[in-house]
């Protein structure tokens, strides 16, 4: 059992329960926001206890009140938010109602914060070193300039930043996301707080980087004896990193207790839902309600040449180079985004292209969609090279392959009603008269399980998951054979993600669709894909059937990716029971 | 499960296993559509937001009133603006002449009413021209990029390098003919650059949205995408700028007329009247007040509206 | 950074050439004969007109005229006025005065605009914010020349606090009122820009991080909120120098200041186009240089730009 790391180094001071005073004790905490619609209670009576040196995680979806609770501890509620009831006791002292000066004393020195998004949390105009130094000086670090500089370098190095002294003189935009997050960890731990609040500290990073940073953070806080309060949406990550779990839903704690107990035996219906939906904990492909493996007769008649079982899309030796402008005028370098990539998508099946940012997976997808011209290589669709189509042929080709993109807020035109969004493809390709088009829009909405009344609404009235379903419906409008899903579920909350995945799976069975599924998340791949292509820096690293990749990965990079799935270490044994 | 030091048999106080009663936090169906509120587009929402602001009603009232005055001055006064008798020079307010008389013995109230048209016409004409020109240049440069962008952006830079009032002064001073059209044309020919820059920036950020890529994947032509998807989404900052700019063009026209190189003297205008009132400032300062006040009120109406529209269309306030 | 400066300098040249060509074309190629319009009501004799035409190269093709004029600009030889004074002398006299006036206006708008804007932005929605916002709208709505007259009348004539007009060699006190009038509209814009910028930055993630470090409020405000809010404000201030130049024509006219604006004002009324074009070229040049400086300052303020 390798699940819980660093057990040996855990500096738990006393063994007997009860002898230790809680470090942080939140009881019946209530937080309200004043909005145009009046007072809205975002946190409705939360209880939470953290002991010294312990790690506790709050798990919940967006809007559950988990971040709000955490920010209330050090009085960093945004906007009109304020604590309306309950108490927050820290090291025997009440934090609710402290004046500004007293709170400033607690911040940084007693309680540190590692915030969520490394891209926006460092001030772009100051050097990294300066921003770490501020955290030292503000909390009473005495020392001259040289001593401060040495200490800053020490802190950055301690947070796992190589070449810390030189890095300290750089600006945030010269850092990668992972490096910025390390700088933020250095800031959070600079004055050796007793408690560190880690608010989704790595959710914006690639999985392998995420794992490295979390491992490092865990080791560091153990060494320093710092208690950690994790805020996360990922149940697997929470269970892996914390010993005590607090599950929040709509401003309330629905379940809390030891991590593994909650995971192996969830009691509350919401927690059960979460556990069953968490992709990192799932181990099988979603089963469809419909019969699989058959191509619908409609489709066979629509595209005469199609036979089930053949490869609908074949990419051969795809290469894409971009010119990158250098800092000097006229100078540029070639950047190879996709390097000699070949794969085949069998009809009616799902092929996943997996890779981290910069792996070239989305560039490859855009070439399959015909939105980007390959530098060399071909994309064949039913045996026909799509890069050599005339513009008229290309227009016809558009009907057969459609995309669904990642960002639910960017993929629908906010100015256009849902009806017009779904009707546009039909109108553009001159399909049916007005009446038939309306009937088709209704049918499409039904396919993605949305009420017909949705068509009069606008994107801003819908949730992220609903928008993604509309995007799926738009892609389906022209009866395509292939859908390219470019990180289509990555921005969604777990439950909604599971819902959309199930929907996609059902649609595939019903309509005989072929999916090219682009994702960074191997966990999701297991739920939806039949075959996996793993990409790294523009090249194919591994290509195999999904089970093969999970059970018997052949490449080190694939193994790293698998190990980086949060909660992967928990999988064996514990969950089964 | 083996005994684990991190998980003591008895949990510590405050960390006992807890499950909320199932009825306390009711589980909704995952991601159901909220059908309680009526459907509403972004424009509807902006409108709803604006209606709540008193400032909107104040500015709308001013604008409607000024527009009415400009269109039908006869409705507001029975006096003619050019019926002047030197005998009345600098005369006090009298029945039927509530603001009194100016140096030429003209009725100040009538002149203030009739002066509205010139200002409003110049303001509206200039704004229309500027929006059409600026939006076209900015949209083409921003959307098509590359060679178009380079040429159009340099062109914009060149026109931008000449300050508006300065350019207008220089050109108006050599123009043989000065009337509403030439003033509007000169202001527009140097005023379009800001809108072009705003449109370009806005179009460039909108065109990176995934809904644009989705439209391309549907086979929609570039021109159609620009007109149907990109421009409507770039419109908010243009509308805001145009509203405020209308006010500033009115000021610019008045400045030119005041300098004697804007509208001709035979045309009743606030700028001209202010210029004339200046001569009797020491004796009768209030003569200056009426045309200047009317001018300021009109401009205030437009820039206030611009402010309200900006708040209502703010992309940050849009997201729920 | 050096490449950045070099690139920006290279970009300035075509803009300068284009802008001067544009102005020159507008003044000399538009319908209407500047020379015929010269003598005002009296008019000039055909012989004199001819002489002037050749003296100012007006008899040559347009592009030659422009190139000769450009040569003059580069060699600082702007030619003579009709009263046979070298234009360069007039410029040398007027520029320092206008420079002083514009600088005073810039300082006034920077200090009060940023100061009030900061306070309003920090307490967005408060009483001070509301008052200042309405006042700023009012100031923008009132044209500079009206404000000039009112100030002249109230502060100068009625109260007698400040001199009504500036003399031949205006000092600080006599320039104070014109500078305030000149600054007023821009001050309102600076204030509003600062306010928006501050109100936006105050809820930025990095400001929250700074607070979470335990940094005292004053330092959070100055080092993080204000520092970052200044980036757009500084850009505006630089671009505004052009508006100040345009405004100076009106302000210097009203307060009878013998600066560039006042001289231009008189040149326009007397129809001295050579002087008009020379002075305008100068102002455009100042404006372009100011914008260039602002760009460089912008790069210094925002490290992200330097590498873009």
Banded model confidence at residue C42, pLDDT cuts 50, 70, 90: low
CA distance B174 to B176: 6
Output Rg (C-alpha) for chain B, integer angstroms: 29
Domains detected in chain C: 14-87 (no CATH), 94-305 (1.10.3720.10)
Partner residues linked to A114 by β-bridges? A198
Lowest mean pLDDT among A363-377, B69-83, B259-273, C69-83: C69-83
- The beta strand positions in C103-238, using DSSP E, are none
Tell me the residue range of the domain where B205 lies. 43-319
CA distance A371 to A354: 20
Lowest mean pLDDT among A155-159, A173-177, B24-28, B74-78: B24-28
Residue B26 confidence (pLDDT): 59
CA distance C285 to A439: 64
CA distance A9 to B84: 100
C141–B247 C-beta distance less than 8 A: yes
DSSP result, B250-263: HHHHHHHHHTTSSS
Size of interface B-C (CB pairs under 8 A): 137
| pLDDT cut 70: percent of chain A above it | 89
Q: Which residues of C touch B170 (CB under 8 A)?
A: 23, 26-27, 268, 276-277, 280
C292 pLDDT more than 90? no
Q: Which residues of C touch B165 (CB under 8 A)?
A: 243, 246-247, 249-250
A414–B42 C-beta distance less than 8 A: yes
Residue C30 confidence (pLDDT): 55
Mean pLDDT of all residues in A97-114 = 92
Q: Which residues of C touch A171 (CB under 8 A)?
A: 303-304
A434 pLDDT more than 50? yes
Say if CB C241 and CB C234 are below 8 A apart.
Answer: no
C96 pLDDT more than 90? no
* Alpha carbon distance, N-terminus to C-terminus of chain B: 46
To which residue do tokens 């609770």 refer? A69
Least CB-CB distance to C214: which of A108, A116, A123? Answer: A108
Mean pLDDT of all residues in C226-243 = 84
Q: What is the pTM assigned to this prediction?
A: 0.84
- A389 and chain B: CB distance < 8 Å anywhere? no
Kindly report, residue by residue over B185-201, the tens digit of the pLDDT: 999 998 999 999 999 99
Q: Which residues of A touch C213 (CB under 8 A)?
A: 107-108, 134-135, 138-139, 187, 190
A571 pLDDT more than 70? no
For domain A297-323+332-400+480-564, the question of CATH label 3.40.50.970 is answered with: no
CA distance A82 to A72: 8
Kindly report, residue by residue over B46-58, the tens digit of the pLDDT: 888 888 888 899 9
Q: Order of strands across the sheet with A384-385? A: A332-346, A311-325, A376-381, A384-385
**Number of compact structural domains in chain B:** 1
Main-chain dihedrals φ then ψ at residue C217, nearest 5 degrees: -55, -40
| Most confident region among B7-21, B73-87, B130-144, C152-166 by mean pLDDT | B130-144
Residue B206 confidence (pLDDT): 92
C143–B254 C-beta distance less than 8 A: yes
Mean pLDDT of all residues in A210-224 = 90
Mean pLDDT of all residues in A502-526 = 90
A7 pLDDT more than 70? no
Residue C118 confidence (pLDDT): 94
When the candidates are 3.40.190.10, 3.40.50.11270, 3.40.50.720, 3.40.50.300, the CATH number that belongs to A22-277 is 3.40.50.300
What burial letters (b/e) apply to A336-345, b meaning 16+ CB within 10 Å?
bbbbebebbb
If one compares C209 and C66, the residue with the highest pLDDT of the two is: C209
Residue C193 confidence (pLDDT): 92
Pairing verdict, β A376-381 and A350-354: unpaired
Q: Which residues contact A380 (CB under 8 A, 6 or more apart)?
A: A313, A314, A315, A316, A386
CA distance C36 to C55: 15
Query: CA torsion sign, C58 to C63 to C68 to C74?
Result: positive
Least CB-CB distance to C26: which of B170, B248, B282? Answer: B170
Q: Å from B291 to nearest chain C CA?
A: 10
Residue A304 confidence (pLDDT): 44
Q: Which residues of A touch B31 (CB under 8 A)?
A: 463, 465-466, 495-496, 499
A513 pLDDT more than 70? yes
Give which of A95, A40, A92, A36 is closest to A71, Cα–Cα: A95
Residue C82 confidence (pLDDT): 67
Q: Å from C138 to nearest chain B CA?
A: 7
Kindly report, residue by residue over C5-20, the tens digit of the pLDDT: 787 788 888 888 888 8
What Å distances lie between residue B294 and B65, B267, B299, C206, CA to CA?
11, 17, 9, 46
CA distance B85 to B77: 18
User: Exposed (0-12), middle (13-18) or buried (19+): which is B80, by Cβ within 10 Å?
Assistant: middle
Q: Vertex B166, ends B160 and B169: CA angle to 5°?
A: 130
Mean pLDDT of all residues in B268-289 = 83
CB atoms within 10 A of CB A124: 16
If one compares A88 and B261, the residue with the highest pLDDT of the two is: A88
* Alpha carbon distance, N-terminus to C-terminus of chain C: 10
Q: Which residues of A touch B210 (CB under 8 A)?
A: 405-407, 410-411
Report the chain B residue with the minimal C-alpha distance to residue A412. Answer: B211
Pairing verdict, β A55-59 and A227-232: parallel
B32 pLDDT more than 80? no
Report the chain C residue with the minimal C-alpha distance to residue B248. Answer: C141
Say if CB A101 and CB A49 are below 8 A apart.
Answer: no
If one compares C35 and C108, the residue with the highest pLDDT of the two is: C108
Kindly report, residue by residue over A296-352, the tens digit of the pLDDT: 444 444 444 445 568 899 999 999 998 877 666 667 788 888 999 999 999 999 999
C56 pLDDT more than 70? no
Give which of C237, C245, C255, C242 is closest to C145, Cα–Cα: C255
Q: Which residues of B touch C143 (CB under 8 A)?
A: 251, 254-255, 258, 274, 292, 295-296, 299
Q: Å from B224 to nearest chain C CA?
A: 32
Q: Which residues of C touch B303 (CB under 8 A)?
A: 137, 140-141
- B13 and chain A: CB distance < 8 Å anywhere? yes
A574 pLDDT more than 60? no
CA distance A514 to A516: 7
Kindly report, residue by residue over C191-227, the tens digit of the pLDDT: 999 999 998 899 899 999 999 999 999 999 999 999 9
A8 pLDDT more than 60? no
Residues of chain A with CATH 3.40.50.300: 22-277, 297-323+332-400+480-564
CA distance B296 to A359: 59
Residue A319 confidence (pLDDT): 93
Q: How long is chain A?
A: 577
Token pair of C33, please? 């004969």
Q: Å from A113 to nearest chain C CA?
A: 6
What burial letters (b/e) apply to B33-52, b meaning 16+ CB within 10 Å?
beeeeebebbeebbeebbee
Lowest mean pLDDT among A101-115, A196-210, A293-307, A484-498: A293-307
A294 pLDDT more than 50? no
What burial letters (b/e) apply to B281-292, b meaning 16+ CB within 10 Å?
beebbebbbbbb
Kindly report, residue by residue over A25-54, the tens digit of the pLDDT: 999 999 999 877 788 899 999 999 999 999
Interface of C with B in 28-67 (CB under 8 A): 30-32, 34, 37
If one compares C138 and A6, the residue with the highest pLDDT of the two is: C138
If one compares A352 and C71, the residue with the highest pLDDT of the two is: A352
- The CATH number that applies at residue B240 is 1.10.3720.10
- Is B277 inside a domain boundary? yes
Main-chain dihedrals φ then ψ at residue A44, nearest 5 degrees: -120, 70
Kindly report, residue by residue over B296-310, the tens digit of the pLDDT: 999 999 999 988 888
Hey, of A187, A188, A327, which one would you mutate to test binding to chain C, going by the most C CBs within 10 A of its CB? A327
Residue A3 confidence (pLDDT): 42
Residue C260 confidence (pLDDT): 87
Residue A114 confidence (pLDDT): 93
CB atoms within 10 A of CB A227: 21
Mean pLDDT of all residues in B226-246 = 92
Mean pLDDT score across all residues of chain A: 85
Pairing verdict, β A384-385 and A195-199: unpaired
| pLDDT cut 90: percent of chain A above it | 47
């Amino acid at each position: 059992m390798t699940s819980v790391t660093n057990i040996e180094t855990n500096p738990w001071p006393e063994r007997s329960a009860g002898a230790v005073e809680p470090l942080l004790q939140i009881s019946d905490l209530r937080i309200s926001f004043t909005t145009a619609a009046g007072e809205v209670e975002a946190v409705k009576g939360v209880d939470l206890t953290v002991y010294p040196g312990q790690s506790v995680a709050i798990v919940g979806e967006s809007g559950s009140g988990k971040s709000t609770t955490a920010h209330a501890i050090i009085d960093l509620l945004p906007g009109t938010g304020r604590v309306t009831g309950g108490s927050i006791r820290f090291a025997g002292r009440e934090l609710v109602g402290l004046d500004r000066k007293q709170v400033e004393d607690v911040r940084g020195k007693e309680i540190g914060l590692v915030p969520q998004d490394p891209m926006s949390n460092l001030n772009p105009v100051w050097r990294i070193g300066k921003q770490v130094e501020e955290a030292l000086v503000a909390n009473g670090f005495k020392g001259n300039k040289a001593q401060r500089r040495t200490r800053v370098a020490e802190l950055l190095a301690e947070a796992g930043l190589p070449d810390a002294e030189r890095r300290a003189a750089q600006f945030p935009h010269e850092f990668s996301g992972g490096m910025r997050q390390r700088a933020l960890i250095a800031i959070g731990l600079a004055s050796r707080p007793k408690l560190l609040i880690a608010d989704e500290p790595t959710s914006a990073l690639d999985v392998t980087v995420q794992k490295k940073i979390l491992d490092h953070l865990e080791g560091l806080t153990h060494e320093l004896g710092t208690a950690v309060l994790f805020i996360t949406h990922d149940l697997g990550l929470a269970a892996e990193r914390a010993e005590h779990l607090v599950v929040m839903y709509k401003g309330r704690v629905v379940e809390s207790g030891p991590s593994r107990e909650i995971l192996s035996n969830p009691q509350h219906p919401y927690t059960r839902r979460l556990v069953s939906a968490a992709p990192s904990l799932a181990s099988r492909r979603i089963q469809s309600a419909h019969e699989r493996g058959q191509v619908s007769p409609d489709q066979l008649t629509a595209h005469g040449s199609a036979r089930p079982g053949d490869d609908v899309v074949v990419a051969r030796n795809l290469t894409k180079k971009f010119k990158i402008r250098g800092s000097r005028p006229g100078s540029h370098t070639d950047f190879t985004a996709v390097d000699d990539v070949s794969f085949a998508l069998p009809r009616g099946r799902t092929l996943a292209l997996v890779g981290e940012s910069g792996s070239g997976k989305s560039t490859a997808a855009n070439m399959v969609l015909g939105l980007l011209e390959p530098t060399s290589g071909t994309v064949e669709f039913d045996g026909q090279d799509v890069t050599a189509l005339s513009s008229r042929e290309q227009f016809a080709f558009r009907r057969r392959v459609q995309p669904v993109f990642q960002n639910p807020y960017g993929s629908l035109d906010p100015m256009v009603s849902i009806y017009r969004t779904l009707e546009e493809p039909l109108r553009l390709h001159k399909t049916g008269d007005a009446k038939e088009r309306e009937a088709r829009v209704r049918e499409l909405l039904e396919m993605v399980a949305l009420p017909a009344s949705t068509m009069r609404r606008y994107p801003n009235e819908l949730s992220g998951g609903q928008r993604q379903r509309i995007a799926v419906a738009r892609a389906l409008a022209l009866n395509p054979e292939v859908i390219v899903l470019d990180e289509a579920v990555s921005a969604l909350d777990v439950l909604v993600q599971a819902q959309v995945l199930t929907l996609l799976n059902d649609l595939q069975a019903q309509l005989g669709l072929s999916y090219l599924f682009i994702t960074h998340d191997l966990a999701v791949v297991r739920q939806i894909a039949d075959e996996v292509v793993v990409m790294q820096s523009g090249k194919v690293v591994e290509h195999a059937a999904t089970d093969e990749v999970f059970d018997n990965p052949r490449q080190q990079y694939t193994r790293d990716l698998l190990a980086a799935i949060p909660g992967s270490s928990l999988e064996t044994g514990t969950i089964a029971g | 499960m083996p005994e684990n030091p991190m998980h003591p048999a008895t949990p510590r106080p405050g960390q006992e296993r807890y499950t909320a009663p199932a009825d306390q936090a009711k589980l909704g169906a995952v991601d159901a559509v909220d059908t309680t509120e009526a459907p509403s587009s972004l424009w509807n929402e902006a409108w709803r937001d604006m209606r709540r602001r008193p400032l909107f009603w104040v500015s709308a009232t001013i604008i409607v009133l000024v527009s009415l005055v400009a269109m039908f001055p006869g409705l507001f006064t029975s006096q003619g603006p050019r019926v002047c008798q030197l005998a009345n020079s600098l005369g006090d307010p009298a029945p039927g002449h509530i603001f009194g008389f100016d140096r030429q013995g003209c009725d100040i109230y009538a002149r203030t009413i009739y002066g509205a048209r010139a200002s409003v016409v110049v303001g509206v004409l200039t704004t229309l021209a500027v929006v059409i020109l600026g939006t076209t240049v900015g949209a083409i440069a921003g959307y098509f990029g590359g060679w178009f962008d380079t040429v159009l952006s340099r062109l914009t830079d060149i026109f931008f390098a000449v300050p508006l009032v300065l350019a207008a002064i220089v050109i108006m001073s050599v123009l043989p003919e000065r009337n509403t059209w030439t003033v509007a044309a000169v202001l527009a020919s140097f005023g379009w650059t800001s809108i072009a820059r705003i449109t370009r920036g806005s179009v460039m950020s909108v065109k990176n949205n995934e809904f644009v890529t989705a439209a391309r994947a549907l086979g929609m032509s570039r021109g159609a995408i620009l007109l149907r998807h990109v421009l409507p989404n770039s419109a908010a900052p243009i509308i805001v700028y145009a509203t405020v700019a209308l006010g500033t063009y009115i000021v610019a026209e008045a400045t030119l007329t005041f300098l004697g190189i804007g509208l001709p003297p035979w045309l009743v205008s606030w700028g001209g009247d202010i210029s004339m009132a200046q001569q009797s400032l020491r004796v009768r300062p209030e003569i200056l007040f009426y045309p200047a006040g009317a001018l300021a009120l009109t401009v205030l109406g437009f820039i206030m509206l611009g402010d309200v529209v900006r708040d209502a269309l703010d992309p940050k306030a849009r997201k729920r | 950074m050096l490449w950045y400066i070099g690139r920006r300098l290279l970009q300035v040249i075509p803009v300068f050439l284009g802008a001067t060509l544009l102005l020159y074309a507008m003044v000399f190629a538009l319908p209407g004969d500047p020379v015929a319009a010269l003598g005002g009501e009296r008019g000039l004799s055909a012989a004199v007109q001819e002489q002037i035409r050749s003296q100012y190269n007006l008899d040559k093709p347009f592009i030659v005229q422009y190139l000769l004029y450009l040569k003059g600009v580069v060699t600082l030889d702007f030619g003579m006025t009709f009263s046979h004074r070298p234009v360069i002398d007039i410029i040398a006299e007027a520029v320092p005065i206008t420079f002083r006036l514009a600088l005073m206006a810039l300082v006034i708008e920077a200090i009060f605009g940023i100061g009030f804007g900061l306070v309003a932005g920090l307490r967005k929605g408060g009483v001070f914010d509301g008052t200042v916002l309405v006042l700023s709208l009012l100031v923008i709505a009132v044209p500079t020349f009206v404000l000039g007259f009112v100030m002249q009348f109230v502060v100068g004539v009625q109260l007698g606090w400040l001199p009504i007009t500036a003399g031949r060699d205006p000092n600080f006190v006599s320039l104070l009122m014109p500078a305030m009038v000149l600054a007023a509209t821009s001050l309102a814009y600076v204030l509003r820009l600062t306010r928006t910028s501050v109100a936006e930055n105050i809820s930025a993630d990095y400001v929250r991080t700074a607070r979470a470090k335990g940094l005292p409020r004053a330092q959070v405000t100055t080092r993080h909120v204000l520092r970052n809010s200044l980036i757009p404000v500084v850009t505006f201030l630089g671009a505004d120098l052009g508006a100040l130049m345009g405004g100076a024509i009106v302000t210097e006219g009203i307060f009878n200041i013998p600066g560039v604006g006042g001289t231009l004002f008189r040149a326009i009324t007397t129809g001295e186009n050579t002087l008009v074009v020379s002075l305008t070229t100068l102002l455009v040049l100042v404006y372009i240089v100011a914008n260039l400086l602002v760009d460089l300052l912008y790069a210094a303020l925002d490290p992200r730009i330097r590498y873009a």
